[in-house]
Amino acid sequence: MSDLSHKPVADLSEDEARQELERLAKGIATANIAYHQNDAPEITDAEFDALTIRNGEIEEAFPELVRTDTPTGKVGAAPAEGFAKVRHAVPMLSLAKAYTDEDVVDFIERGRRFFQKDEGLEIAFTAEPKIDGLSASLLYEDGVFVRGATRGDGAVGEDITANLRTIADIPHKLKGSGWPRSIEIRGEVYMSYAEFQALKERSAASGGQDYVNPRNTAAGSLRQKDPAVTASRNLQFFAYAWGATTEDPAPTQYDAVQRFAAWGFKISPLMERARSVEELIAHYHRIEEQRAALGYDIDGVVYKVDQLELQRRWGFVTGEPRWAIAHKFPAERATTVIRDIEIQVGRTGTLAPVARLDPVSVGGVTVVNVTLHNEDYIGGRDSNGMPIREGKDIRVGDTVVIQRAGDVIPQIVDVVIEKRLAGAQPYQMPQTCPVCGSPAVREVNEKTGKEDSRRRCTGEMICPAQAVESLRHFVSRGALDIEGLGAENIDLFFNAGLIRSPADIFTLRDRRAEVQRALAERREEQARAREAVSGKARKNVRSVEDRNYEGLDKLFAAIDARRNPELDRFIFALGIRHIGETTAAVLARTFGSIGKLEEAGKEMVKAEDPMSVFPSVDGIGSTVVEALVSFFANQRNVDALDRLLEQVTPQDYVVTISADSVVAGKTVVFTGTLEKMSRSEAKAMAERLGAKVAGSVSAKTDILVAGPGAGSKLKTAQDLGVEVISEDEWFARVGR
Ligand code: IVH
């Protein structure tokens, strides 16, 4: 299968675009969760931006493929469980970004063009640091702080009032007078370096957790269940904006923020008013010069149109104001040496090279590993053969420049060739799997004839690395989610020979004594390790074991509790390539039972054109069909599945159909622009009413609902004599 991630949008087929949108939605969602929910970013800001930009471009080129769960316009992840939800009356927005001076010029030019009819108008701007913390919205009623919330996904945040109250910079009562009767003050909660360092030291002394960076620590501190913990973290707050208010705080951004200061808030001392690009950029550099001395993280400078009237006129795009932009600082860099390149083998057999580095601090975080993606990347080329790092390859012993942008996963941006050791050899990817010895190959995409950039181990289930990873996946969150059977226990039971394939999980109870022994051995080993570190003798192992008998029963109960999984989880758990949670749900809906899916799978294997066996379904393209074929073509997979089905009975997927629905059982296609609801909502509604929603028009289509701008699908429907109705007619028919 080829890597589509570098294929120009214009060259994508519909199927490829769909796959890419799936990949991007997943990537963006994962990154959002890592960043906003778990406070542990996994990709760089620039990588994140690249994903969103590509997603937007594909959506624009293929509007009919926009996903139900499109990441467009979603600012962050949905709020974490545990705190009450707060719907922001005025959404908490994100900011467009500028990376270069030209981007800033463009921003100003866009403004000038927008207001061009307004001759003689002078647009003023504010410039202030972009603080790298968490935004919060503080509601003041009659000058009294009554509720505070996180940004969450921009629309709905979490009520963290009790925690925010512990922050000294947040006044419980506003000072002075003349504040609006009700106003939401917005700004950034952050942790200073000094406070971060002190916390790290306290934690190290008491054997507590390690803290990665101030931003994530501030985020974690705000989400504490116990406000006393938040209070102990000495967080700080800068006010820089506002949300819902009964009246404007002032006619300009600058004066509004000055009033916040008068009301008792801390505001950035580096905020200034400017009237030209030159002034803005000069201020950017002044702030950049002071960056290191500030004592807290900032990652750029925010420019905003000063006059509120102009802000209102210029308005918003999805999730962002047009009238503001964040001019980012360049990413932080450091130099280090590659000591070794190791290969990790993933669930689908992908060989992932990882560079082991001499530990190096980049922007306050120690980096020891960095992913090298694949052999093309190591060789200095991307998957289209275009040079990266000016074509410089990466070798063991090389001195390299590491970059970390916005507190996330580091990457190698350059190789210092002058420091290359004499005799250093180009890195050779192993041709066999380092774990199981099976050949590791680069597959060739049948359609494009191009080699995949990644090498994959062909050992499948013979390969212990793939087997373990598949088992880990099987019990993971979105899959069977078996409590108490995390990655660690899977490794343990796998190595002890207790679990080789998913079915074995469900017979563990029959091998209680062996399970017991494996757990006991690990405890012994851990105790020995602790002893080695602390020098203290072991004590009282007995009582720990007693507790573990109880633990075992719990584990077996948790396993039994998953003997009737939902069909979509079960399909996802199988770990078939290209079948993520969304696709698994589509397959569950389409086939209704695992028996039907297996039947279709086997039929596809025999069919000359597997696509013909497969009903035309929105969200399923040839990639998924090919993945199903290759899964069912492998007898080992079929046997493993059948053995699993002796232990587990997935629930059939039942659609709740309103019996009297006139569209029940009909195949419906939506095309063009829908005006009353989004396409995804329309789709969900049709499905609730028992209709099947397809992505393309064929002779099997019963109804085409065509909105304005309908194109080829409308024509096909007319040619095929399919009934075509408008959105209004659709609603009249389904009774809404
Ligand atoms: S203004 C309508 N000003 O950046 C504009 N945001 O990317 C709303 N941020 O969620 C934001 N410093 O967490 C603004 N001086 C500043 C900021 C700032 C940091 C953060 C904030 C926001 C994010 C947007």
pLDDT value, residue 272: 97
- Does one domain contain both 315 and 338? no
Q: If you average pLDDT over residues 618-630, what whole number do you get?
A: 83
Give the pLDDT band (50/70/90) at residue 222. very high
pLDDT value, residue 157: 94
Distance (angstroms) between ligand 1 centre and the Cα of 129 equals 9
> Rounded to whole angstroms, what are the CA distances from 190 to 35, 134, 162, 216?
15, 7, 17, 9
Q: If you average pLDDT over residues 467-474, what whole number do you get?
A: 93
pLDDT value, residue 33: 76
Indicate the pTM of the whole model: 0.51
Query: Sign of the CA dihedral 161, 166, 169, 174?
Result: positive
Binding residue numbers for NAD(+): 45-49, 94-95, 128, 151, 188, 304, 328
Q: Is the per-residue pLDDT at 644 higher than 90?
A: yes
- Does one domain contain both 543 and 672? no
- Does one domain contain both 152 and 288? yes
Distance (angstroms) between ligand 1 centre and the Cα of 134 equals 9
| Atom 13 in ligand 1: residue holding the nearest Cα | 135
pLDDT value, residue 545: 46
Task: Name the token pair of 44.
Answer: 């760089």
Phi then psi for 312, rounded to 5 degrees? -65, -40
Distance (angstroms) between ligand 1 centre and the Cα of 302 equals 7
pLDDT value, residue 1: 46
Domain of residue 675, residue span? 667-734
Is the CB–ligand 1 distance for residue 326 below 6 Å?
yes
- Does one domain contain both 233 and 154? yes
- Does one domain contain both 150 and 163? yes
Q: Is the per-residue pLDDT at 382 higher than 90?
A: no
pLDDT value, residue 208: 63
Mutate to test the pocket of ligand 1, among 48, 92, 135, 284 (most ligand atoms within 8 A of CB): 135
For the chain, the domain total comes to 5
Q: Is the per-residue pLDDT at 327 higher than 90?
A: yes
Name the residue among 42, 260, 41, 26 with its Cα closest to residue 132. 41
Q: In this structure, what CATH number is given to the domain that contains residue 688?
A: 3.40.50.10190
Q: Is the per-residue pLDDT at 38 higher than 70?
A: no
**Assigned domain for 603 exists:** yes
> Rounded to whole angstroms, what are the CA distances from 510 to 498, 506, 516, 650?
11, 9, 12, 22
pLDDT value, residue 543: 43
**Assigned domain for 2 exists:** no
Lowest-confidence segment of 58-72, 241-255, 468-482, 703-717 by average pLDDT: 58-72
| Atom 15 in ligand 1: residue holding the nearest Cα | 130
Q: If you average pLDDT over residues 80-85, what whole number do you get?
A: 77
Distance (angstroms) between ligand 1 centre and the Cα of 33 equals 19
Reported residue count of the chain is 736
Q: Is the per-residue pLDDT at 75 higher than 50?
A: no
Domain boundary among 328, 355, 386: 328
For ligand 1, what atom is nearest to the CA of residue 268?
15
Task: Name the token pair of 217.
Answer: 């620590």
Which entry of 130, 683, 692, 713 is annotated as an active-site residue? Answer: 130
Q: Is the per-residue pLDDT at 230 higher than 50?
A: yes
- Does one domain contain both 688 and 598? no
CB of 211 closer than 8 Å to CB of 219: no
Q: Is the per-residue pLDDT at 220 higher than 50?
A: yes
Is the CB–ligand 1 distance for residue 600 below 6 Å?
no
| Atom 18 in ligand 1: residue holding the nearest Cα | 130
d(CA 330, CA 92): 25
Name the residue among 127, 96, 130, 128 with its Cα closest to residue 275. 127
**Assigned domain for 514 exists:** yes
- Does one domain contain both 112 and 57? no
- For residue 602, the one-letter residue type is K
d(CA 43, CA 734): 45
> Rounded to whole angstroms, what are the CA distances from 211 to 193, 197, 206, 223, 430?
12, 9, 13, 15, 36
Q: Percent of the chain having pLDDT more than 70?
A: 90
**Assigned domain for 27 exists:** yes
- Say which residue, 683 or 249, is predicted with more confidence: 249
Q: Is the per-residue pLDDT at 676 higher than 60?
A: yes
Which residue's structure tokens are 């095309």? Answer: 671
Q: If you average pLDDT over residues 381-399, what whole number do you get?
A: 89
Name the residue among 268, 236, 249 with its Cα closest to residue 126. 268
Phi then psi for 594, rounded to 5 degrees? -70, -30
Beta strand 399-404 with 332-345 is: antiparallel
Is the CB–ligand 1 distance for residue 324 below 6 Å?
yes
- Does one domain contain both 259 and 375? no
CB of 147 closer than 8 Å to CB of 86: yes
pLDDT digits (tens, 9 = 90+) for 106-142: 999 999 999 887 778 899 999 999 999 999 999 999 9
| Atom 6 in ligand 1: residue holding the nearest Cα | 130
Give the pLDDT band (50/70/90) at residue 655. low
CB of 376 closer than 8 Å to CB of 452: no
- Does one domain contain both 531 and 563? yes
Mutate to test the pocket of ligand 1, among 128, 298, 302 (most ligand atoms within 8 A of CB): 302
- Does one domain contain both 217 and 158? yes
Across 374-457, the runs of DSSP E, i.e. the strands, are 399-404, 411-415, 440-444, 451-457
**Assigned domain for 339 exists:** yes
pLDDT value, residue 656: 57
Distance (angstroms) between ligand 1 centre and the Cα of 110 equals 21
Q: Is the per-residue pLDDT at 37 higher than 70?
A: no
Q: If you average pLDDT over residues 161-186, what whole number do you get?
A: 96
pLDDT value, residue 438: 93
Q: In this structure, what CATH number is given to the domain that contains residue 413?
A: 2.40.50.140
pLDDT value, residue 446: 66
- Does one domain contain both 261 and 118? yes
d(CA 6, CA 500): 37
- Does one domain contain both 509 and 524? yes
Give the pLDDT band (50/70/90) at residue 270. very high
**Assigned domain for 616 exists:** yes
Is the CB–ligand 1 distance for residue 305 below 6 Å?
no
**Assigned domain for 282 exists:** yes
Distance (angstroms) between ligand 1 centre and the Cα of 206 equals 35
Tell me if residue 130 is catalytic: yes
For ligand 1, what atom is nearest to the CA of residue 132?
19
* DSSP track, 317-364: ETTEETTEEEEEPPPEEEEEEEEEEEEEE-TT-BEEEEEEEEEEEETT
- Say which residue, 208 or 425, is predicted with more confidence: 425
Domain boundary among 457, 488, 522: 457
| Atom 23 in ligand 1: residue holding the nearest Cα | 94
Task: Name the token pair of 48.
Answer: 């994140």
**Assigned domain for 236 exists:** yes
Q: Is the per-residue pLDDT at 164 higher than 50?
A: yes
Pick the most confident of 228-232, 252-256, 327-331, 516-520. 252-256
